[in-house]
A and B are shown apart, each in its own frame.
Chain A
């Protein structure tokens, strides 16, 4: 039965990574009504920053990750200020924001290439803990991912439910005009949301950078998976995203185990198309509207 436990273990790791990416995208989508195509590049930049803090500034690994999260949150603030808010109010602004975030991806990718050069980098394993359940082994970064991702997103969901910021986020999500009438300043909420989302992406970047290698293009794949998660679980709802992330993780783990690495993305995408065709309103909730 080691096949099943291996699949489950990899589901938890993949699902956790996708969750960190998709939760941020969902949050941005539900409040700002735009998609951030630069999320993968921000993940990559966060990964490089962690590497720099660790290897060039000589900080301990955990401190490096925290530092990178803080620095990236600031970059996220600039990102919101320069790329999202100037366009969001224009007619057809969602498309403009999309193009602007694609341009940002270009900037970040070439910037990373200039700053960190072409040689491949990697972060060390996060811890040396190791558990073995029914023949499947999870250790180091994998174990951290399994625990940390749902924990962070769970805390986020809790905060969104309980705090006043969360209330403002949900108010904007439901009715932007009405929320503004009630005295909620959308700009501030937008800023907070983008900073949180970029912070989560940075954590994903640090985890990914220690499981694989760091390269300027490393964000493309996680971004693609996060898109599928959003289409699957319903962009705009955090519980839907959590379920979607682990569903895609499971689908990918199963198809990789049985059909190999090159067919797994094809099957995942086909599943996504079928679901979109059969039940767009069920999986995407009521949020399908002419944006």
Chain B
């Protein structure tokens, strides 16, 4: 089992490298890029939402803050674009310290209220600081990333793809490391039985803060990537659209597993692209999809596939237990 897990890392890397060589069409490449970016965001969000069980709705705020940090840095200060990516991660982490304040003293759904309000507050702050953020016009003209003289946009955005793939790979490694570490185990312990976990010496605030900051760093980097990819940043990034899109990825894929949100990101991106001309029907289909999954498969697609694998691997025992 252990050997299998170790073998899966290079296999995953090879798949990531080969994918754009199979799908050479620019539109297909853009989809791959979006899948990788959403995969990053959904997986990092699931650290707090799924594993720690924190009702964290601020993740979309961290994503937007990362994008705006990059937008402001490269258009107003002339910072080296590549440097803007880690700086955006840092600024999202700083923002996460503010968003974490309510988590200190509140529990459960109240955290959901406070962090949701935090994300919405970002919109008002951006609109209020129009001189810096461009207000409702957003920031336009963010330069493309270049490597030497080649733009990452060249050759059907292949550069952006590999950047996104590398970031996704790093995110998957980070999430696996956190989930398998004592930190991850203590998070599950706090989520499932806080009183017992705390009595055994686990500090809820410290563990939650670490995972909150880790998630925010990934979201900030993803936001920065999004800013470079699109060349513009607007307040839409904090909006309801991204929030529901990402939540649908997490819960469609399965919030209880490491890879569920990634599966969800792939499926929802495909569905969303397939229905891009359908207008309002697109949202209706995605919303209906979420509800159907919640009704019939509460553990999401990841749960379904695990069930299928179990049944296929151990036909008799599966039947006995069910």
Across the interface, which residues of A come within 8 angstroms of B114, CB to CB? 231, 272-273, 276
Distance in angstroms from B98 CB to nearest chain A CB is 8
Distance in angstroms from A7 CB to nearest chain B CB is 21
Bound CA span A284–B284, Å: 36
Distance in angstroms from A14 CB to nearest chain B CB is 16
Using A224-B120, A227-B117 as known contacts, say yes or no to A277 and B105 having CB atoms under 8 A apart: yes
**B298 proximal to A (CB < 8 A):** yes
Which residues of chain B (274-322) have a CB below 8 Å from chain A? 279-284, 286-288, 290-291, 294-295, 298
Which residues of chain A (102-148) have a CB below 8 Å from chain B? 102-107, 109-111, 113-114
Q: Mark B248-288, 1 if CB is under 8 A from A, else 0.
A: 10010001000000000000000000000001111110111
**B53 proximal to A (CB < 8 A):** yes
Which residues of chain B (225-257) have a CB below 8 Å from chain A? 240, 243-244, 247-248, 251, 255
Distance in angstroms from B97 CB to nearest chain A CB is 12
Which residues of chain B (156-172) have a CB below 8 Å from chain A? none
Bound CA span A182–B118, Å: 42
Distance in angstroms from B96 CB to nearest chain A CB is 14
**B55 proximal to A (CB < 8 A):** yes
Q: Mark A63-94, 1 if CB is under 8 A from B, else 0.
A: 00000000000000000001100110010101
**A265 proximal to B (CB < 8 A):** yes
**B23 proximal to A (CB < 8 A):** no
Using A99-B294, A110-B284 as known contacts, say yes or no to A291 and B107 having CB atoms under 8 A apart: yes
**A95 proximal to B (CB < 8 A):** yes
Taking a contact as CB atoms under 8 Å apart, the answer to whether A102 and B109 are in contact is: no
Bound CA span A227–B121, Å: 13
Q: Mark B51-75, 1 if CB is under 8 A from A, else 0.
A: 0010100000000000000000000
**A262 proximal to B (CB < 8 A):** yes
Name the 8 nearest CB pairs between A and B, nearest first.
A291-B108, A110-B280, A106-B287, A110-B283, A103-B287, A103-B290, A262-B128, A113-B280
Known: A109-B283, A231-B113, A276-B114. 15 other contacts (CB 8 A): A95-B255, A96-B294, A96-B298, A106-B284, A107-B283, A111-B284, A220-B120, A224-B117, A224-B120, A230-B113, A269-B118, A273-B102, A276-B105, A288-B105, A289-B107
Show 6 A/B contacts (Cβ-Cβ < 8 Å), sorted by A: A103-B248, A224-B117, A269-B118, A280-B105, A290-B107, A291-B108
